[in-house]
Structure 1
Amino acid sequence: MKDSHSGSLLDLPKRTFIRRTQDYESNTLDRMCHFEQMKRMTQGIYKRGFFNSKFSDVTIEALGMKYQLHRIILVQNSFFAGMLDGSWAESDKRTINLTFDDPHITLEGVNAVFARIYGQFEVRLHPKNVFSIMAAASYFNDSDLLDICTTYIIDSITKETVVDSIGFIVASYYGINSDAIIEAIFTFLCREGFADLKEVFAQLPLSWFERIVASDCFCVPSEYERYCFIRDVIELRQKRSDRTKTGHRPLSLADSALDLSSLSLASSDSSETSGSTSASDGSEGESEETTFRDMLSYGVVYSHMRFDQLLQIRGDGFAPAHVLEKAFWTQQEFRCLIEGSAEHITTLGIQYDVDVSKDTSDPSPSEVLIPSGDTDKIDEKQVSGVLEGSIYAHSRVRFPPFRFSLEAADENRIHRGDRVYSKTQFYAGSYWIVYIQKLVAQGSSKLGIYLQRWAQDEEPEIEDPHASASHRVSVYVDRREEVQTWFQLYCFISDQCFILESKPDLFKNTQSWGWRSSKLLKVWTDSAAPGPHTIKISVVMGHV
């Protein structure tokens, strides 16, 4: 009995398994046959219907071409469904003429959309046709093709392509797809601008140049180098302008009268949008000079520079002398405030709001807001949201915050779990560094990013040849045991930006505050970008 019972149990699963395998194979073959039939049918519709115009019952005229097409096929597209299957006048016409306001729409773009309607979904995109195809996809409501083109443009943003992409996206607005491209361009310009994009910034719309280079999320190692970047780009723009006047330079984005209001970049305050003045009103040159002067006066925090750097800048003749003198005076006031504070005092009473004693000609009256809480959920943030804020907010406070940036390119050391340090920075009588480290916590690998203070007369002993001390102002000592400091980290990892904010926290000597995140590690390790997986971080910090 036992043997018989055991035998029946062995046989049943075997027969059932074989039957299911046969069913699976049969279904697979059926699906393959159906797929081949569908493929032959769509190829036939495309070849005989679209290519050879067999049995056509409607003619579409566009850009000088006549397409002999089929209503029953066209209504699969929502644009034509509304036109041909509704109460519109075109529904009964045999010939329909289409006109396009978008100058980017060409026959290649129209052909690509029509081919997709007739079942040919493969589209070969390249830099010379993607703008035309995207414009046509938007016109004909082909949302899938629109997303494909958007992804291609974003993935193709480089030093060589970004100017053309900007020119395309400011000329016409394609809803959320335009927003995605603009965001990707802003992120690219903030992340890579200082390193190798001076020529690109010389061709940007003036409003873009102004807002990006003055913003906290623009990755530049120091305020002195921010000044040098602005100075060099202004010189390039002026040279290009001179060549234009003599007829030796092709038109660039910088010459165009661009309405940036639809791009969520230009401020509603007319005093902050000097770069969008139309060339036709005769005031473009004056407006540009005003913007340059504002950038050099309010877009750079001079009060954290060395005295010899201030002398060098004054010798350049770009920044107003009174701005530099005021910065030096502010620096000395700040030093006296630090050195005169008792060791047990943690706050200095620094306010980050509008100082009405400032020069009222400053074009940005907005308040400066420091973080009111700590980032507890790490998500990708939109750089465009940062750029929408007041351009010159830091110039409105008595003691502006300190800004610097770092780049961590040694991925091997990070993977080993070593700490990768920024250059040592001097701010307010203490040394400061940012370090990155791969950590393992609760069995999960995370990427840690921390700001650390080194107080008193010590300079951090760092076993990192890439983290030498930065240039700093004359060293003085903050002898307070604890300082209360807020900070923001704009972390550019792969093609994404993460903004980490900390409300004022107490920093003892050698104390660190920061975040560790498995999400940041995953974004970094999953990056598909060629070359080393670098992490760039722009830091903004200040005492209270």
Structure 2
Amino acid sequence: MGSLSSRFQSAPRLDEAEAAPCERTGHGCECKKRKRSSRCDCDSEPEEEESLLDTPRRKKLKSTSKYIYQTLFLNGENSDIQICALGQEWNLHKVYLCQSGYFSSMFSGSWKESNMMVIELEIPDQNIDTEALQVVFGSLYRYDVLIKPSRVVSILAAACMLQLDGLIQQCGETMKENVSAKTVCGYYSSASIYGLDSVMKKCLEWLLNNFMTNQNVDLMKELGVDVMEQLIQSSDLFVMQVEMDIYTALKKWMFLQLNPAWERPLKQLLADADMWLCKRRSELGEEEPFLDTEEGVAYAAVFRHVRLQYIINDLASARILERDNILPRDWLSSMYKQQWFAMLRTEHDNDIGPQEANKEEFELSSMRCGRKLSKDGDYCWRWTGFNFGFDLLVTYTNRFIVFKRNSLSQPCGGAVSLQPRRNLAYRLRLASFDNSGKLVCSRTTGYQLLTLEKDQEYVVMNLDSRLLSFPLYVCCNFLYTSPKSDRPLDAPEPESSARSVS
């Protein structure tokens, strides 16, 4: 105990210790206390000092930006130029305005405005208002700008006029993040005017996904002929049910275009469109198809892209086409002829379907169909009609999607091919969307060729349950027959191609 006590007593207390000389060479030190680590207070790690020196002072920068915006822009202190536009004045500074390509050219060239203290700005674009100019001028004095989706078109217009590339890009990103049924048409139109191709592409993708899956009366009223034509001709259109439903959607859209004051519920729209067409047929004596009339000719380009071969293959649908009398008669007669020869080729030439990749023909001519799966479970469906004896069953079960060529195992209401093998080209896509129509998740098989024997099954897709979100939309494209050749129908058959049915 004595030795331990003496050891403690011999150790000097820190506050009584004499100042030790600093060990840092070349530096004087006036430290009066020694640290427990035997180093003085000034002996900090060089790396720590450098780290502290390199740490950005974000708060200080924000404060500076706020001061500049408030003092120079809002208060106009030390202004050296005044901009007048749309009945309002802004006291600004040339050094900030030169960030704009528009003003930079004005001040550096031989323009009369180069030395003027007051500039009257002409605003030729009706999309630009004083609120947009306030935001755009203010953006020159701060490092960030908050853009409301409802104001983005006006701000974009002003940014384009003043040639502010950074702000134009920010407007484009804002538009792409806020595409919805309310904004898509306005955004698409503005993006077309101001050259934002990426925004146009985003809007078109949204429309392809949502036009059929979530039909909207206001959206149909807004959609113009040019945009609708792009949608209807695309094989990427998410179709619900079958091609006949595309025709029906177009009929409703055309009715709304010609009757924009219509304000009844969506479920009443088709009945009112049919009643309107019936009234017109009575007035015209059912002589002239609607698209041949002066009022209907504007919509002919859109209806031209309906794939009639997948409508006239169903008796009930073909009768509706005849009853509506919308389509020119030569469209239907030529399609009946085309399908008749396709049927004969399948029956007598043993056309077993596509045998090599022809993506261009697939995009133009594939059958478009789809289905909505409201919740997880087991589903099985077929898209009926005369499909050249190819009865294809599609099954969703245990998160597998399976194709089955039905020949003998299941009842079928139509003709069934008994050829040993049949080919088809297909593409299957799955998608789910949020409330605004944004894509939540998606998967696709891409373009594929498949050979199926009688009653053979094939697993098309194995789904990861973690990526699934319901309701789930399934969209399929199919091509059952070989791509049509360029040989005229009345040309003589090559001898080698005449074969008997197996």
TM-score (norm 1): 0.62
Question: Do the aligned partners of residues 336 and 161 (structure 1) sit closer, same or farther apart at CA in structure 2, a change above 3 Å counting?
Answer: same
Measured after TM superposition, the shift of residue 423 of structure 1 is 2.8
Q: 1:234 aligns with which of 254, 257, 270?
A: 254
Given the alignment of the two structures, is residue 307 of structure 1 paired with residue 315 of structure 2, yes or no?
A: yes
Q: 1:316 aligns with which of 313, 324, 338?
A: 324
**Alpha-carbon distance between aligned partners in 2 of 1:52 and 1:486, rounded to the nearest angstrom:** 67
| Superposition pairs of residues 44-83 of structure 1, within 5 angstroms | 44-83=67-106
Partner of 2:407: 456
| Superposition pairs of residues 402-481 of structure 1, within 5 angstroms | 402-408=367-373, 410=375, 413=376, 423-426=381-384, 427-433=387-393, 452-459=403-410, 474-481=413-420
**Alpha-carbon distance between aligned partners in 2 of 1:480 and 1:310, rounded to the nearest angstrom:** 28
1:224 and 1:302 in contact (8 A); partners too? no
Measured after TM superposition, the shift of residue 492 of structure 1 is 5.2
Measured after TM superposition, the shift of residue 538 of structure 1 is 4.4
Helix, strand or coil for the counterpart of 1:240?
A: coil
Question: Do the aligned partners of residues 422 and 45 (structure 1) sit closer, same or farther apart at CA in structure 2, a change above 3 Å counting?
Answer: farther
Helix, strand or coil for the counterpart of 1:55?
A: coil
Given the alignment of the two structures, is residue 179 of structure 1 paired with residue 197 of structure 2, yes or no?
A: yes
**Alpha-carbon distance between aligned partners in 2 of 1:227 and 1:84, rounded to the nearest angstrom:** 57
Question: Do the aligned partners of residues 486 and 50 (structure 1) sit closer, same or farther apart at CA in structure 2, a change above 3 Å counting?
Answer: same
Q: Per-residue displacement from partner, 1:258-300 (whole Å, max 9, x unpaired)?
A: xxxxxxxxxxxxxxxxxxxxxxxxxx99565124456556623
Helix, strand or coil for the counterpart of 1:543?
A: coil
| Superposition pairs of residues 506-521 of structure 1, within 5 angstroms | 506-508=451-453, 509-512=455-458
**Alpha-carbon distance between aligned partners in 2 of 1:40 and 1:335, rounded to the nearest angstrom:** 76
**Alpha-carbon distance between aligned partners in 2 of 1:291 and 1:312, rounded to the nearest angstrom:** 22
Helix, strand or coil for the counterpart of 2:475?
A: strand
Measured after TM superposition, the shift of residue 125 of structure 1 is 0.9
Partner of 2:216: 197
1:403 and 1:541 in contact (8 A); partners too? no
Structure 1, 62-71 or 488-497: larger mean CA deviation: 488-497
Given the alignment of the two structures, is residue 217 of structure 1 paired with residue 267 of structure 2, yes or no?
A: no
Question: Do the aligned partners of residues 60 and 211 (structure 1) sit closer, same or farther apart at CA in structure 2, a change above 3 Å counting?
Answer: same
Q: Per-residue displacement from partner, 1:160-212 (whole Å, max 9, x unpaired)?
A: 33343345445xx222xx21222122122221112313442333222222342
Helix, strand or coil for the counterpart of 1:512?
A: strand
Measured after TM superposition, the shift of residue 303 of structure 1 is 4.6
| Superposition pairs of residues 202-281 of structure 1, within 5 angstroms | 202-220=221-239, 221-240=241-260
Partner of 1:137: 159
Measured after TM superposition, the shift of residue 539 of structure 1 is 1.6
**Alpha-carbon distance between aligned partners in 2 of 1:24 and 1:491, rounded to the nearest angstrom:** 53
1:75 and 1:85 in contact (8 A); partners too? no
Structure 1, 52-61 or 294-303: larger mean CA deviation: 294-303
Helix, strand or coil for the counterpart of 2:202?
A: helix
Q: Per-residue displacement from partner, 1:452-491 (whole Å, max 9, x unpaired)?
A: 241312349xxxxxxxxxxx9x511111222122234466
Partner of 2:361: 370
2:243 and 2:310 in contact (8 A); partners too? no
1:46 and 1:120 in contact (8 A); partners too? no
1:58 counterpart letter in structure 2:
I
Measured after TM superposition, the shift of residue 55 of structure 1 is 1.3
Measured after TM superposition, the shift of residue 111 of structure 1 is 1.1
Given the alignment of the two structures, is residue 289 of structure 1 paired with residue 267 of structure 2, yes or no?
A: no
Helix, strand or coil for the counterpart of 1:487?
A: strand
**Alpha-carbon distance between aligned partners in 2 of 1:23 and 1:58, rounded to the nearest angstrom:** 45
1:93 counterpart letter in structure 2:
M
Question: Do the aligned partners of residues 513 and 480 (structure 1) sit closer, same or farther apart at CA in structure 2, a change above 3 Å counting?
Answer: farther
1:487 counterpart letter in structure 2:
Y
Helix, strand or coil for the counterpart of 1:314?
A: helix
| Superposition pairs of residues 338-417 of structure 1, within 5 angstroms | 338-340=346-348, 346-347=352-353, 369-370=360-361, 394=365, 401-408=366-373, 410=375, 413=376
Measured after TM superposition, the shift of residue 105 of structure 1 is 1.2
Q: Per-residue displacement from partner, 1:395-431 (whole Å, max 9, x unpaired)?
A: xxxxxx4321234554xx4xxxx8x757323433223
1:44 counterpart letter in structure 2:
Y
1:407 and 1:422 in contact (8 A); partners too? no
Given the alignment of the two structures, is residue 483 of structure 1 paired with residue 422 of structure 2, yes or no?
A: yes
Measured after TM superposition, the shift of residue 514 of structure 1 is 5.1
Higher relative contact order (CA 8 A, sep 6+): 1
Question: Do the aligned partners of residues 227 and 181 (structure 1) sit closer, same or farther apart at CA in structure 2, a change above 3 Å counting?
Answer: same
Structure 1, 52-61 or 157-166: larger mean CA deviation: 157-166
1:492 and 1:535 in contact (8 A); partners too? yes
**Alpha-carbon distance between aligned partners in 2 of 1:514 and 1:482, rounded to the nearest angstrom:** 18
- Residue-pair matches, total: 404
**Alpha-carbon distance between aligned partners in 2 of 1:180 and 1:498, rounded to the nearest angstrom:** 22
1:303 and 1:328 in contact (8 A); partners too? no
**Alpha-carbon distance between aligned partners in 1 of 2:392 and 2:229, rounded to the nearest angstrom:** 29
1:478 counterpart letter in structure 2:
S
Q: Per-residue displacement from partner, 1:478-521 (whole Å, max 9, x unpaired)?
A: 11222122234466565568876536442334343757799xx9
Given the alignment of the two structures, is residue 94 of structure 1 paired with residue 40 of structure 2, yes or no?
A: no
Question: Do the aligned partners of residues 36 and 293 (structure 1) sit closer, same or farther apart at CA in structure 2, a change above 3 Å counting?
Answer: closer
**Alpha-carbon distance between aligned partners in 2 of 1:498 and 1:82, rounded to the nearest angstrom:** 49
Q: Per-residue displacement from partner, 1:57-96 (whole Å, max 9, x unpaired)?
A: 1222222222221222333444433433455543333223
**Alpha-carbon distance between aligned partners in 2 of 1:422 and 1:215, rounded to the nearest angstrom:** 26
Q: 2:173 aligns with which of 129, 151, 156?
A: 151
Q: Identify unmatched segments of 5+ residues in structure 2.
A: 1-36, 264-290, 483-502
1:493 and 1:536 in contact (8 A); partners too? no
Question: Do the aligned partners of residues 536 and 20 (structure 1) sit closer, same or farther apart at CA in structure 2, a change above 3 Å counting?
Answer: farther
Question: Do the aligned partners of residues 293 and 285 (structure 1) sit closer, same or farther apart at CA in structure 2, a change above 3 Å counting?
Answer: closer
Partner of 2:49: 23
**Alpha-carbon distance between aligned partners in 1 of 2:322 and 2:174, rounded to the nearest angstrom:** 46
Larger Rg: 2
Measured after TM superposition, the shift of residue 54 of structure 1 is 1.4
Measured after TM superposition, the shift of residue 222 of structure 1 is 0.4
2:426 counterpart letter in structure 1:
F
Root mean square deviation, CA, Å: 4.3
TM-score (norm 2): 0.66
**Alpha-carbon distance between aligned partners in 2 of 1:540 and 1:26, rounded to the nearest angstrom:** 64
